[in-house]
């Protein structure tokens, strides 16, 4: 059985909007290879929507389609009050921003063993359970 993976917003943004073809290809391969095991949170959906609208990709209708397609294809977990409390603990313990800590808390709560993110420390192990991997690091 393949491990559950959590994919941070930046990977999705590269998939849908990137002038860097290398990063777009890495994001596409990562999502394709892990398709059945991907978990994201409502936070990621909100951040993705906001980022794509700011980048003005095509139209807002196109962004809406991307969000709806993502919801249909992947396991989306809601942010719980437990996640909020856990995020505060992670922030205090590891020094991440609150928003990154909330991503980590959601990944932990969802039973993920890998968090793909460009924004956090590559290869860091959180709670002896969740490994952060920067898929764009050479």
Beta bridge partners of 7: 116
Cβ neighbours around 42 below 10 Å, total: 13
So where are the chain's domains?
5-133
pLDDT computed for residue 55 by the predictor: 75
Residue 59: pLDDT band by 50, 70, 90 thresholds? low
CA angle centred on 127, ends 30 and 99, rounded to 5°: 65
Is a pLDDT exceeding 60 seen at residue 134?
yes
Looking at CATH, the fold of the domain delimited by 5-133 is given as Rossmann fold (3.40.50)
pTM value? 0.91
HEC letters along 59-99: CHHHHHHHHHHHHHHCEEECCCHHHHHHHHHHHHHHCCCHH
DSSP assigned state of 14:
H
Is a pLDDT exceeding 80 seen at residue 118?
yes
């Amino acid at each position: 059985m393949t491990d559950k993976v959590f994919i941070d917003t930046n990977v999705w943004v590269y998939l849908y909007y990137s002038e860097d073809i290398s990063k777009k290809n890495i994001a596409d391969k990562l999502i394709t290879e892990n398709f059945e095991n991907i978990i994201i949170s409502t936070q990621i959906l909100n951040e993705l929507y906001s980022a794509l609208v700011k980048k003005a990709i095509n139209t807002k209708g196109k962004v809406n389609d991307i969000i709806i397609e993502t919801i249909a294809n992947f396991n989306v977990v809601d942010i719980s009050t437990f996640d909020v409390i856990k995020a505060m603990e992670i922030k205090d313990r590891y020094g991440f921003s609150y928003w990154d800590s909330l991503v980590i808390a959601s990944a932990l709560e969802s039973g993920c063993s890998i968090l793909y993110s460009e924004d956090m420390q590559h290869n860091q192990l959180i709670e002896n359970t969740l490994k952060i991997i920067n898929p764009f690091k050479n």
